[in-house]
Amino acid sequence: MLSMQQSSELPVRSVDLTVIGSGPGGYEAALRAAKAGMKVCLIEKAALGGVCVNWGCIPTKALLRSAELFELVKKADRYGIKVASGEIDLAEAVKRSRNVALKLSKGIGFMLRRAGVDVVQGEAFFNSAHDLDVFRDGVRVETVTANHIIIASGARSRQLSGMEPDGKRIITSREALALKQLPASMIVVGGGAIGVEMAWFYAMAGTAVTIVELLPRLLPLEDVEISEALQLSFEKAGITVVTGAKLEDVTVEGEQVRAMLVAEGAEPQPVQADHLLVAVGVTGNSDGLGLECAGVEVARGFIVTDALCRTTATNIFAIGDVRGGMLLAHKASAEAVIAVDTIGGKSSTPIDESMIPRCVYAEPSVASIGLSEEQAIARGYTVKVGRAMFAASGKANAYGNLEGLVKLVFNSADYSLLGAHVLGHGAVELIGELTLARRFELTAEQIASTIHAHPTLSESIKEAAENALQK
């Protein structure tokens, strides 16, 4: 809990809406509300843009771009280009990623100022459902009174007992984004999106990487066929993947992390590495806000809301990671629209998570929307599956990126699209077309009959739909 120390004669700011947090959901909510004519205050304790812009989505993608280019340089002779063998300069790659993040953070500040949003630096703490105290360095500096409040405080890395980060040898993705020297070895605990992306980056940079995932496969929430193909690709790239496994007896000894690798059906094996990256998901930043003073209910670290993002306090809304569900920046932005429109008295439609695309930015990348084949069958659908392999694509061959496929899952009753899954170079860009197809309930025939430019990677979407129809 924050200190109750305060300065005398505190200013009181009265607004229509206060937004706590400036991540993708928070700044979208503030901008949208200001555009609608509300007087808006945004409270942020760190850099504008939140974790996504400063320590998540954006700097991660900047680093992954460096790794992608480095990998291309190593293969340059295949493309008729002679270059001296090089090495990645991790410090320069990190510097570039920080500059990209800084640029976008400044851009958000400019947009908020232009929209007339009052930005207050500090930590917010509820003392009622309408009143927030703002603390800076433990000192209460002002009070904000608002008709409505949107909580967009995000999430933080979840910790595992016995693997608590020390910021040096046992690290989270935040420290992994700012290492100045390339480690010789790294163990990544967690085969979800964050673990997969960081493992791929460091492996491409030259680190010996081992991924340890407790569940039977990487990306355990994705389609089985896609997950298994990704694992094969990773192993081909030299990444050691151990699934159905966990680490025990983790210790830090000098400059090494040591542990026992316990895999189902195998004898425990000692392992060690320069760094242990713990990437086992996140928990909502719901503590330290004084939510109990506002009557806001929390369950398992996430704020409880209804379908329109309203909390148990009727004037307070929660959006983004702190609300739970899919922990995606674009979901937070969509929830911002719902919350602000509801506050403004407009009709809002709850989010259907089956309409939200999911992306993992390794190489090959993974993108999906809707149901996996396994989920569709479990829900009682009889399915038709269409596939198109990138190895048969002219554009993929020209690129030299032959791994992966487009997999479309249709309802055999009417051939409507239930789910779409792409593994391969550019998958995260191809998912846009499939998101539209899912959103407007297009059929296999409609997708197959749509003319696609040649040669493009997107032709594989058309070919996957044709493949389903041929069956």
Residue 85: the pLDDT is 72
Higher pLDDT, 87 or 241: 241
How far apart CA 364 and CA 281 sit, in angstroms, is: 22
pTM of the model: 0.94
Beta-strand runs (E) in 129-233 = 131-136, 139-151, 155-157, 170-171, 185-189, 208-213
Q: How confident is the model at residue 9 (pLDDT cuts 50, 70, 90)?
A: confident
Question: Which residue blocks in 365-439 are alpha helix, DSSP H?
Answer: 373-378, 394-399, 427-439
pLDDT at position 7 over 50: no
Q: At what angle do helices 427-439 and 459-470 cross, to 10 degrees?
A: 50
Q: How confident is the model at residue 344 (pLDDT cuts 50, 70, 90)?
A: very high
Integer CA distances (angstroms), 14 to 30, 232, 310, in order: 15, 57, 21
Integer CA distances (angstroms), 262 to 12, 265, 269, 350, in order: 56, 9, 7, 43
Residue 6: the pLDDT is 47
Residue 40: the pLDDT is 98
The two tokens of residue 303 are 């704020």
pLDDT at position 4 over 60: no
Q: Which of 275, 421, 452, 454 is catalytic?
A: 454
Q: How confident is the model at residue 86 (pLDDT cuts 50, 70, 90)?
A: confident
**Mean pLDDT for the chain overall:** 96
Q: Express each pLDDT in 289-316 by its tens digit.
A: 999 999 999 999 999 999 999 999 999 9
pLDDT at position 360 over 50: yes
Is 275 an active-site residue?
no
How far apart CA 453 and CA 395 sit, in angstroms, is: 11
Average pLDDT of the residues in 270-275 = 98
Residue 8: the pLDDT is 52
Domains and their CATH numbers in the chain? 12-157+283-343 (3.50.50.60), 170-280 (3.50.50.60), 364-470 (3.30.390.30)
Which run of H or E residues covers position 53?
helix 50-55
Average pLDDT of the residues in 122-137 = 97
Q: Express each pLDDT in 362-379 by its tens digit.
A: 999 999 999 999 999 999
Query: Smallest Cα–Cα separation from 342: which of 311, 305, 310, 320?
Result: 310
DSSP code for 354: G
Average pLDDT of the residues in 387-398 = 97
Q: Express each pLDDT in 186-241 by its tens digit.
A: 999 999 999 999 999 999 999 999 999 999 999 999 999 999 999 999 999 999 99
Residue 1: the pLDDT is 42
pLDDT at position 280 over 80: yes
